[in-house]
Structure 1
């Protein structure tokens, strides 16, 4: 029997057993990782599809084989990431296909008196398939997790500059922790955006939770106050700690034109008092 005929028969054999082999891999993985039991049904169809691709790869061109595995890897990698499977668990699965299919390949080769060269070629196809699957699966899996992490960081970053309306006319931005370049820029952006959206008259920047500021942050504060004035919002700064005051003095920064208050309460009382006076 020619090598090509042996390849075709092996392809048919694996296709017939695709469901059985997928269940076998599922059982092995579930025993190794009991936590995967809850998603085993979701993974079963994916595994059966992969077994079928392994089978067809023995009668396909290298170009078509890689194309199919790449498409499967993109879909399966993203799906497994959304199912919260770990990359370690999934990568440890692929050697199981090598073992299971390798044993079947050996028996098939013996049964059909396949030449050494023919057996080596089939084994090489299987090894190449395993390597391709590992690569094509890992990339979208890692990309998806990286996107999720980036989105989480961005959401957390935005929470670090919470603009809080405390009345129809007053909004407060209470800052806590160090302010780096990125956070300072976000502070400027969010303060202007929220002030315009809320249509407030007063904006209070509370620095009581900030240990220290540098020249750049001080410049952003000046820029923020000037920008708020342009949209008709009166800005005030509260909670400047002794360390911040000392830094401001040492840096030669002039805060005289900025309305500063020792506490948020004092600033609010001042605003309410001035509003009362205007009403009277």
Structure 2
């Protein structure tokens, strides 16, 4: 009897619901918090994937790898949207290997396949599943990174609120730590809003900044220098005593920048010079 992969594919299709439910039960028991709430949606995806193997097992290898790559790209993004973590998602792959290899082994016995035929079929199965893992992982991580970048941009926008106080005066109350990404956004937003609001006096309030080190100071200097190029006078308020001591010990020099203890003092100084 010659080795007939059509029969193997047929057996897989006949058992698709049973196999999908088996995988769903295993995953629900292993990862109940993530899997149980979305088990219905995942069961449907598992049925589709197992049903897809009817084609993959009989297609030429390159065609099968191309099809499973498309599946991985689509499903990786889909699972990321469902809120799964990648470790839990990839934890299914050994189950598919075991289940699908079991079907192939059983049918190989029935058909009395040669060792070479049997070995070739298992190798093809492993290549397909490896490709599924790679394309799925890439799509999952890329989509996750895009979501993180969108969230980070939204957070930066919320954390850089330029507030107009009166004609030609605006304040930027900075809260939290300043990293490189946030500093870049801070500069862009300060310049953009200063131009939009026709600001001539810009107050950087650091009351909510817990640490000012050399890197943070350098970022602030760049913001102030950029504002000066636009003809905007920039001053700093709200440096707490303990932070001032740290800055002195680090040798950070603010001599060329006007600083005030409070926002009220900065406004008073501006109004005094404007008279």
Quickly name the TM-score band, shorter chain normalised. 0.7 to 0.9
Alignment of 1:173-188 (within 5 A): 173-176=172-175, 179=178, 182-188=181-187
Q: Is the deviation greater in 24-33 or in 145-154?
A: 145-154
CA contact (8 A) 1:212 1:247 kept: no
The alignment status of 1:88 with 2:87, answered yes or no, reads: yes
Per the alignment, residue 34 of structure 1 pairs with 32
**Which has the greater radius of gyration?**
1
Per the alignment, residue 100 of structure 1 pairs with 99
- Inter-CA distance 114–212: structure 2 relative to 1 (3 Å threshold): closer
CA distance in structure 2 between the aligned counterparts of 1:193 and 1:238, rounded to whole angstroms:
21
CA contact (8 A) 1:238 1:261 kept: yes
CA distance in structure 1 between the aligned counterparts of 2:188 and 2:178, rounded to whole angstroms:
14
Q: CA deviation at 1:254?
A: 5.1
Q: CA deviation at 1:251?
A: 6.8
In the alignment, structure 1 segments of 5+ residues that lack a partner are none
The alignment status of 1:70 with 2:69, answered yes or no, reads: yes
- Inter-CA distance 207–228: structure 2 relative to 1 (3 Å threshold): farther
Question: TM-score of the superposition, structure 1-length normalised?
Answer: 0.80
Corresponding residue pairs, total: 269
Per the alignment, residue 9 of structure 2 pairs with 11
CA distance in structure 2 between the aligned counterparts of 1:108 and 1:251, rounded to whole angstroms:
76
CA distance in structure 2 between the aligned counterparts of 1:101 and 1:12, rounded to whole angstroms:
12
CA contact (8 A) 1:80 1:141 kept: yes
CA distance in structure 2 between the aligned counterparts of 1:252 and 1:38, rounded to whole angstroms:
56
Question: TM-score of the superposition, structure 2-length normalised?
Answer: 0.82
CA distance in structure 1 between the aligned counterparts of 2:130 and 2:171, rounded to whole angstroms:
56
CA distance in structure 1 between the aligned counterparts of 2:272 and 2:254, rounded to whole angstroms:
29
CA distance in structure 2 between the aligned counterparts of 1:15 and 1:252, rounded to whole angstroms:
73
CA distance in structure 1 between the aligned counterparts of 2:42 and 2:67, rounded to whole angstroms:
18
Aligned to 2:205, what secondary structure does the other structure show?
A: strand
In the alignment, structure 2 segments of 5+ residues that lack a partner are none
Aligned to 2:57, what secondary structure does the other structure show?
A: helix
- Inter-CA distance 122–164: structure 2 relative to 1 (3 Å threshold): same
CA contact (8 A) 1:179 1:213 kept: no
